[in-house]
């Protein structure tokens, strides 16, 4: 497999975590988003949206991290990253969507560039914008974790929800957020940092990292 990604991309980060948790090997094809390398003709031929990640498996090219993660769960079921009971799977998917739909898209690189170019936002305004979306999402997620977690977001083993959470915490620090109001989420992060799969997937440990 070839993972097309970028070291600091949150969506790429969540796929790296899942690949590592499942022990699936891959080669990395790095695309520096700051230089627009995701918009080259060769990459657009693979992913017409010109975004990362994309996972190439032979002639198959999968795009959009939620679809990639669900495909990995279906094709590489061990260890499972979704619970067995339908109600529990719905809870984990809701946690994933809380981050993947309601937080992450509003603080990704495309949005930040638009805020700077179209509205003249400086870094302080960017930080405030990001925090305005991250904070209420973390409030809701921490309440769900308190209800369903037992060391991880759901239960006592990593799930897809943790694949989403850890990159979003990393991103929040880039916006200079004080994360002390969410000790439940920080406790999960502390456990993840000691886990070899999360350790290997960390942005700072990627070959294309600054």
Tell me the per-residue pLDDT of 166-193, one tens digit each, with 9 for 90 and over.
999 999 999 999 999 999 999 999 999 9
Return residue ranges of the chain for CATH 1.20.1050.10: 86-198
pLDDT of res. 134? 98
Q: Give every CB contact of residue 157 below 8 A, 6+ residues apart in sequence.
A: 79
Task: Please state whether the peptide bond connecting residue 53 to the residue before it is cis, i.e. omega within 30 degrees of 0.
Answer: yes
Q: Give every CB contact of residue 6 below 8 A, 6+ residues apart in sequence.
A: 12, 30, 31, 32, 33, 38, 52, 208
**Annotation: CATH topology of 86-198:** Glutathione S-transferase Yfyf (Class Pi); Chain A, domain 2 (1.20.1050)
pLDDT of res. 15? 98
Angle, vertex CA 15, rays to CA 82 and CA 69, nearest 5: 40
pLDDT of res. 182? 98
Q: Rounded to an integer, what distance in angstroms lies between the CA atom of residue 149 and that of residue 153?
A: 5
Instruction: Give, in order, the Cα–Cα distances in Å from 81 to each of 33, 145, 148, 161.
Output: 29, 16, 15, 8
Tell me the per-residue pLDDT of 71-95, one tens digit each, with 9 for 90 and over.
999 999 999 999 999 999 999 999 9
Return residue ranges of the chain for CATH 3.40.30.10: 2-79
**Annotation: CATH topology of 2-79:** Glutaredoxin (3.40.30)
| Average pLDDT value over all residues in the chain | 97
What are the two backbone dihedrals, phi and then psi, of residue 177, each rounded to the nearest 5 degrees? -80, 140
pLDDT of res. 123? 95
Q: Rounded to an integer, what distance in angstroms lies between the CA atom of residue 154 and that of residue 88?
A: 8
Counting DSSP H helices and E strands in the chain, the numbers are: 9, 4
Residue numbers of the chain with a pLDDT score lower than 70: none
């Amino acid at each position: 497999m070839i993972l097309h990604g970028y070291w600091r991309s949150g969506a790429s980060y969540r796929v790296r975590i899942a690949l590592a948790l499942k022990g699936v090997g891959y080669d990395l094809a790095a695309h520096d988003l700051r230089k627009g390398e995701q918009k080259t003709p060769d990459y657009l031929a693979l992913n017409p949206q010109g975004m990362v990640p994309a996972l190439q498996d032979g002639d198959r090219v999968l795009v959009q991290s939620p679809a990639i993660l669900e495909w990995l769960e279906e094709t590489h079921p061990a260890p499972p990253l979704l619970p067995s009971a339908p109600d529990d799977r719905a809870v984990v998917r809701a946690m994933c969507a809380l981050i993947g739909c309601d937080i992450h898209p509003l603080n990704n690189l495309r949005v930040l560039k638009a805020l700077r170019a179209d509205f003249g936002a400086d870094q302080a305004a960017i930080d405030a914008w990001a925090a305005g979306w991250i904070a209420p999402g973390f409030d809701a997620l921490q309440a769900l974790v308190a209800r369903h977690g037992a060391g991880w977001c759901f239960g006592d083993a990593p799930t897809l929800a943790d694949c989403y959470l850890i990159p979003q915490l990393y991103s929040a620090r880039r916006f200079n957020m004080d994360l002390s109001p969410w000790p439940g989420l920080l406790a999960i992060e502390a456990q993840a940092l000691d886990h070899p799969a999360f350790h290997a997937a960390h942005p700072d440990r990627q070959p294309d990292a600054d």
